[in-house]
Amino acid sequence: MTKRHQAKYKIDRRMGQNIWGRPKSPINKREYGPGQHGQRRKGKLSDYGVQLRAKQKLKGYYANMSERHFRGIYDEARRLKGDTGAHMIALLERRLDTMIYRAKFVPTVFAARQFISHGHIKVNGKRVTVASFRVKIGDVIEVKEKSKQLALVLEANAQLIARRFPDLAFAIVTPDGAALEGAPLNGPRAMAFDARGDMYLVLREGNAVYRIDMRARIIHHIAGTGTNGYSGDGGPAVQAQLSGPKGIAIAPDGGVFIDDTESHTVRRIDPRTGVIDTVVGNGTRGDGPDGTPRSCLLARPHGIFIDAAGGIYIADSENHKIRLLKE
């Protein structure tokens, strides 16, 4: 296991994501990479690049784990029967430092490792000083009585935000054409129904949209590749990249409108051709101006509603506004 001596928030800026969901992360205000060339438009990642980015993000999330230790966990997960990615996450989540971070004994995963190594944690009544100690079902984890009033512990207890998990390239995939019962869903966030009674479901972490045939009880993939991004306008929606979609609505003509939250846009899927296009925003975060829809910038839209007359109401979340689009 290695220590990370550099500024930890640089991981956020290099990955382009607030990995730990912390309010002080610089990526919340500067959504571009570090350095003098950070604002230059980056090219599309190759398949290898997407996988490498996911691995680096996961290593950083778990307190900058060393390559050797990370590889050992992967090899162990691969030997288990079933989905290797799911087993790997399960093994990482059973680490003692992850457990006490999730339990909010400490404010950061880096603090969790130090907290353990300094002897502040007991497992089943015995002091444990190894951060990679693997927790089993039924184990009792507690902070030593003398350590409960440490400033670090009090700070963590005051934090009300959830400990979020980063988006990963190998996250759960929902198979196209799968039976509804038992189908895996990666972060279902919002749903809407069309005139036939079919359900449309957006997966925030899955970066995809599915239509559920409620009569046949079958799931159909209609948009998103599963990889976080903003691309594909003018082409098939299933080949387009979405970026953390969080809202969906169905128009009277069957058009599917999606709040593509992290790309700061609203996008529409044509019901006849399956082609996707951006209808509000251009991929840049901002606040208006009102007028031409494509020139009206949004800031992480979270909700969308269409009335009987076809008026489209957009919850422009971080601008604290409701915007109306009339087709």
pLDDT at res. 1: 47
55 vs 312, higher pLDDT: 312
Sorting pLDDT into bands at 50, 70 and 90, what band is 32?
low
pLDDT at res. 77: 87
Is the pLDDT reported for residue 170 higher than 50?
no
Give the C-alpha distances (Å, rounded to integers) separating 187 from 65, 88, 299.
Answer: 25, 18, 21
What is the average per-residue pLDDT within 241-264?
93
Q: How many CA atoms lie within 13 A of 247 on its CB side?
A: 25
Backbone region of residue 303 per phi and psi (left: phi > 0; alpha: psi in -120 to 50; beta: other values): beta
pLDDT at res. 164: 53
What's the pTM value of the predicted model, to 2 decimals?
0.53
Residue (of 164, 171, 242) closest to 210 by Cα position: 242
Residue (of 254, 238, 243) closest to 306 by Cα position: 254
3-state secondary structure of 243: coil
CB atoms under 10 Å from CB of 150, counted, come to 17
pLDDT at res. 9: 67
Q: Which amino acid is at 147?
A: S
Contact status, residue 109 vs residue 63, Cβ threshold 8 Å: yes
3-state secondary structure of 242: strand
Provide the b/e sequence for 191-202 (b: ≥16 CB within 10 Å): ebeeeeebbbbb
The listed range with the strongest mean pLDDT (37-41, 133-137, 199-203) is 199-203
What is the dihedral angle through the alpha carbons of 73, 75, 81, 85, rounded to the nearest 10 degrees? 60
Sorting pLDDT into bands at 50, 70 and 90, what band is 194?
very high
Range with the poorest average pLDDT among 152-166, 223-237, 260-274: 152-166
Helix (H) or strand (E) holding 322: strand 321-326
Helix (H) or strand (E) holding 175: none
Is the pLDDT reported for residue 47 higher than 80?
no
Provide the b/e sequence for 10-48 (b: ≥16 CB within 10 Å): ebbbbbbbbbbebeebebeeebebeeeeeeeeeeeeeee
Task: Tell me which DSSP letter residue 198 carries.
Answer: -
pLDDT, one tens digit per residue, over 105-139 is 888 788 888 888 898 888 988 999 998 898 888 88
Would you tell me the crossing angle of helices 67-79 and 84-93 to the nearest 10 degrees? 120
Please report, rounded to a whole number, the percentage of residues in the chain having pLDDT higher than 70.
Answer: 80
Please give the biggest Cα pair distance in the chain: 66
Structure-block tokens of residue 118: 């300094």
Range with the poorest average pLDDT among 14-28, 136-150, 176-190: 14-28
Mean of all residue pLDDT scores within the chain: 82
Residue (of 155, 151, 109) closest to 131 by Cα position: 109
pLDDT at res. 229: 87
pLDDT at res. 16: 67
Please tell me whether the peptide bond between 289 and the residue prior to it is cis, using omega within 30 degrees of 0: yes
Q: Which amino acid is at 142?
A: E
